[in-house]
Amino acid sequence: MAERRTERAAAPLTPERLERAALAYLERYANSAAGLARVLQRRLSKAERQGRAAAGAADIEAVIAKLRRAGLLDDGLFAEGRAGRLARQGRSQRSIARRLAAAGLGEAEIARGLAAAGAAPADELARAVAFARRRRLGPFRAPRERAVRKLRDMAALARQGFAYDLVRRVIEAPDAAALDRLRQEWAEQ
């Protein structure tokens, strides 16, 4: 005979529980203040629907302010880390800026993140090459498929926010070594 689970009443969502939830979330995931506020607001909304909310929106703001003072929540560091990760994935500056804005970061934090990711043309070329390598586009594709897939490959890079001239140079490069030489030339300029 299977045991029945007894349902117990969920504890009310107090400011202390809200703070513990924020700390537990930040232990697992890096996030911006705006992102953490959205997570806590969803938790609060659920508690309100269930009639167990003993906290409010002001408590969310207080928790975020406390975490900022303690140094556990820093939008600038979050922007640098996220921008660096996106740059390693081969995202363009435009794409990185859009994703940081979607995370709720302000212009100053976005600029800090873009600076950390590298703003030079050689950095943008390196990101385009990384994306092409990861997706096997252009010179990273089998030679017999290159001509047939050229427009699709160019479109894939363009959707990532890279400029047309850069997309054309990457896709039309004869091989990966040519891209490395081009990146070195651009870095020296």
> pLDDT of 129-159, one tens digit each?
999 999 999 999 998 999 999 999 999 999 9
| 92 SS3 class | coil
Residue type at 175? D
Q: What is the pLDDT of residues 71-101, one digit of tens each?
A: 999 999 999 999 999 998 889 999 999 999 9
Q: What confidence score (pLDDT) does residue 152 get?
A: 96
Q: For residue 22, what are its two tokens?
A: 């924020």
pLDDT at residue 36, as a whole number = 95
Residue 3 has pLDDT above 80, yes or no: no
pLDDT of residue 54: 84
Q: Please state, in angstroms and rounded to a whole number, the distance separating the CA atoms of residues 151 and 92.
A: 19
Helix, strand, coil percent content, the chain, rounded in steps of 5: 70, 0, 25
18 vs 59: CA distance, rounded Å: 8
Quickly state the pLDDT bin for 26 (edges 50, 70, 90): very high
Q: 68 CB contacts (<8 Å, ≥6 apart)?
A: 33, 74
- For the segment 17-42, the average pLDDT, to the nearest whole number, is 94
Is pLDDT of 1 > 80? no
Look-up: residue for tokens 């140079």?
A: 169
Is the predicted pLDDT of residue 45 greater than 60, yes or no?
A: yes
Asked whether residue 107 carries a pLDDT value surpassing 90, the answer given is yes
- 49 membership: H or E segment, kind and range: helix 33-49
Residue 109: pLDDT band with limits 50, 70, 90: very high
